[in-house]
Structure 1
Amino acid sequence: MSLKTDLLLLFKPYYFVNILLSLSYILAKKIPMSCWLVFPTSYPQCDLDSRESEILFFLLIVVMIRTKKAGSVTMINYLTSSFIYNKIANLILWYYADVRMGIIYTVLFVLLGMTLPEPTYSGPDKVTYFRTEAGLEEELSRDKRVVWLVTFYAAWNPACVNFAPIFAQLSAEYGLDNLKFGKIDIGRYPDAATKYRINDSSLSRQLPTVILFKEGKEIARRPAIDGRGKVMKFFFSSDNVKASFDLNNMYIECKNNPIKKKHDKSEKAIENGHEKAE
């Protein structure tokens, strides 16, 4: 995701409002007019006291640790990962300053959480849905020149539901005749989970699993499994998937080496015939 796209997203209500909520206490303290209205007893001395500074410093540490663990790699990822911690810190600060303001902030916190969900991709996609494990195998072996990126998911799993719009957007952005995107519901077709060694239980850490196939064979998967058989944690953001499977370079490679269709060969043969006749 480019910086320009990130900046445009900030003007969407979800991000704009959450940024205001995350900065509400500091803005109220630092802007003279709001300080006079909200903290009349402190005005004009509206600097943060030692306890408030400690809370904000602790928040900074928590946000840095949590976003690193989540695998955030872009500005939007960092913001989305930090919103909940920022708002909780502001909630504490408002209650610390004035219980009434804390109650007002709590009401806003809950109402906006219920009415303003994070925006997700809802455009077109180029995803092939496989109905059986045999259907997936047949498609993988049909044309070995086609590269497949396949998501193994369960409809009841929240992580799979959250990843669905991201995968749809990636398919629309990178889909080609020789770079295709597929999905199979291993909740309905457990044979596929068994074949590709994916735990489909309610406690599974392998949902979703994305596997890259080249020439019909598995090349890479996320989340990966280490030498001890332990599932390695993976954050399924758009940028992480692109980086893990090198989608940008793979797209260029596939686009520069399109699959030759039969009618293309016929047209080339006719052109060669005309050249010889001349």
Structure 2
Amino acid sequence: MALLTPLLAFLYHLPQVYKWLLKPYYVASLFMSVAFLMIRKTPGICEHLSTQREDGNPCDFDWREVEILMFLSAIVMMKNRRAITVEQHVGNIILFSKVANVILFFRLDIRMGLLYLTLCIVFLMTCKPPLYMGPEYIKYFSDKTIDDELERDSRVTWIVEFFANWSPECQSFAAVYADLSLKYNCAGLKFGKVDIGRYGDVSKKYKVSTSPLSKQLPSLLLFQGGKEVMRRPQVDKKCRAVSWSFTEENIIREFNLNELYQKSKKLNKSKGDKNVGNSSMRDCMTTKAYC
């Protein structure tokens, strides 16, 4: 059963994974992830490689290479236990596959290791994972608009994500946050985002660190009446984020989204009644015979 669950989850998301893998970023990442495997197994190339196998076959993995691959596979499995989206699963596999390739190439030939490491650095600097471009009900703030919008109507509750485009965790969370906005956004409950990687003053004002060491990205803050009520993840005395999983279930539970949504529907109704009353008053003013 433990093996069946992840297998069924993979098959369920297979069309989506297939669509991602067709994107240039993932195509290039896939080739880089299997680079050592292709070189070690390609006839005409593998015969010229060194090996520590007892049978002297250079076209198969030796015991040390198998040990390295098994160790890094265990790390990937541990990391993926905390992954919340398919993007994170795929990203972890790609990342640690590249790490394994660096180690294996350096062990095989230092020149090949340096070449592969250089390619990884160039790829990291020039290629970025594709950003989420799906449907959402999210308002994007700048340093000049966030305060005014949060304080515009004290009856409106805001959930605001503080993020940075360079953060892999923020990129992976984008689809989850967008889905929540589609389900719960209404007149009394709204969703916002602010890029604190771009607006440093906002980062300082709301005390959300952009340092990778703090692990505070992404951060979700709940505002009511323009004031912060709660945030996740919480921050300890050393300004490091307390471990918290950004799953849809956790967010719904911790932020009481179902309860907030029910209250927001009442606000929608009161606004609708007020609009009807205003409309009736205008009708009476313009056509007194009907009053």
Which range, TM-score by smaller chain?
Answer: 0.5 to 0.7
Q: In 2 relative to 1, CA 199–169 (structure 1 residues): closer, same or farther, beyond 3 Å?
A: closer
Distance 2:236 2:91 in 1: 29
> Which amino acid counterpart does residue 106 of structure 1 have in structure 2?
L
Identity %: 28
Q: What does residue 81 of structure 1 align with?
A: 92
Distance 1:105 1:61 in 2: 23
Q: Which runs of 5+ in 1 are unaligned?
A: 270-278
Q: What does residue 224 of structure 1 align with?
A: 234
Query: Contact 2:87 / 2:172 at 8 angstroms: preserved in 1?
Result: no
Distance 1:230 1:17 in 2: 34
Superposition RMSD in Å: 4.7
Q: In 2 relative to 1, CA 165–263 (structure 1 residues): closer, same or farther, beyond 3 Å?
A: farther
Question: 136, 139, 142: which is aligned to 1:127?
Answer: 139
Q: In 2 relative to 1, CA 38–252 (structure 1 residues): closer, same or farther, beyond 3 Å?
A: farther
- Measure how far apart 1:148 and its partner are: 1.8
Q: What does residue 16 of structure 1 align with?
A: 27
- Measure how far apart 1:204 and its partner are: 5.4
Distance 2:35 2:214 in 1: 39
Question: 247, 250, 256: which is aligned to 1:244?
Answer: 250
> Which amino acid counterpart does residue 251 of structure 2 have in structure 1?
F
> Which amino acid counterpart does residue 244 of structure 1 have in structure 2?
N
Query: Contact 1:132 / 1:189 at 8 angstroms: preserved in 2?
Result: no
- Measure how far apart 1:99 and its partner are: 4.6
- Measure how far apart 1:164 and its partner are: 7.7
1:28-47 paired onto structure 2 within 5 Å: 28-30=39-41, 34=42, 36-41=43-48, 46-47=59-60
1:53-202 paired onto structure 2 within 5 Å: 53-68=66-81, 71-121=82-132, 126-127=138-139, 129=141, 131=144, 135=148, 138-139=151-152, 141=154, 143=155, 146-152=156-162, 159=167, 163=170, 170-171=177-178, 174=182, 175-183=185-193, 187-188=200-201, 193=206, 198=207
Moved more, 5-14 or 199-208: 199-208
- Measure how far apart 1:80 and its partner are: 1.2
Q: What does residue 6 of structure 2 align with?
A: none
Distance 1:205 1:51 in 2: 34
Secondary structure in structure 2 of the residue aligned to 1:61: helix
Q: Which runs of 5+ in 2 are unaligned?
A: 1-11, 50-55, 281-291
TM-score, L = length of structure 1:
0.64
Secondary structure in structure 2 of the residue aligned to 1:246: helix
- Measure how far apart 1:246 and its partner are: 1.9
- Measure how far apart 1:229 and its partner are: 9.5
> Which amino acid counterpart does residue 83 of structure 1 have in structure 2?
I
Instruction: Write out per-residue CA displacement over residues 16-44 of structure 1, whole angstroms, 9 at most, x where no aligned residue.
Output: 221222122224444xxx2x122125797
- Measure how far apart 1:192 and its partner are: 5.1
Q: In 2 relative to 1, CA 79–169 (structure 1 residues): closer, same or farther, beyond 3 Å?
A: closer
TM-score, L = length of structure 2:
0.62
- Measure how far apart 1:188 and its partner are: 2.8
- Measure how far apart 1:48 and its partner are: 1.4
Distance 2:57 2:209 in 1: 60
Q: In 2 relative to 1, CA 148–52 (structure 1 residues): closer, same or farther, beyond 3 Å?
A: same
Q: What does residue 275 of structure 1 align with?
A: none
- Measure how far apart 1:128 and its partner are: 5.1
